[in-house]
Amino acid sequence: MPTYVVTAAAGRLSKQQKSDLAASITKIHCTVTGAPAYFAQVLFNDVPEGNYFIAGKPLTEDIVFIHGQIRAGRDLEVKQRIMMELLDAAAAIAHMEKSNIQIYLLDLPAKQIIEWGKILPNPDEEAEWFASIPDHVKKRMAELLS
């Protein structure tokens, strides 16, 4: 957690743009919240033509939709900072107008999420949670950060 799903028309984002956007989303979220990077997940949905609709009509505009789910407990200022930084990064990476990027950020209670084999901690309670993780799992987590 967090999990960000980026949806766009198939072929709209190149492999490099996806890689750059995933790195930017991770960096922005972790810098703004202080959350460890091994929590961050970014998934891409390439939607085939005829399968993306706005106002009940097939998509004809150039749209990128970023749907983020984060642990509840962050204040509005933090969430809006994440969204604005994501907007800037996505527009630059995708070479598109900011008005064509949609971003939704939703809160999920940490106690309703399991990652790395454990129920997640609330924000700012990661140290105690991390201490309870088995060493072989910590090794996997560390490998993601290197």
Sequence-distant (≥ 6) Cβ neighbours of residue 130 within 8 angstroms:
36, 138
In the prediction, which pLDDT does 145 show?
84
Domain hosting residue 92, numbered range: 3-145
CATH code of the domain containing 104: 3.30.429.10
Q: What is the pLDDT of residues 1-60, one digit of tens each?
A: 899 999 999 999 999 999 999 999 999 999 999 888 888 999 999 999 999 888 999 888
Distances (CA, A) of 86 to 19, 30, 117, 122, 146: 14, 12, 29, 23, 24
In the prediction, which pLDDT does 124 show?
79
- Count of domains observed in the chain: 1
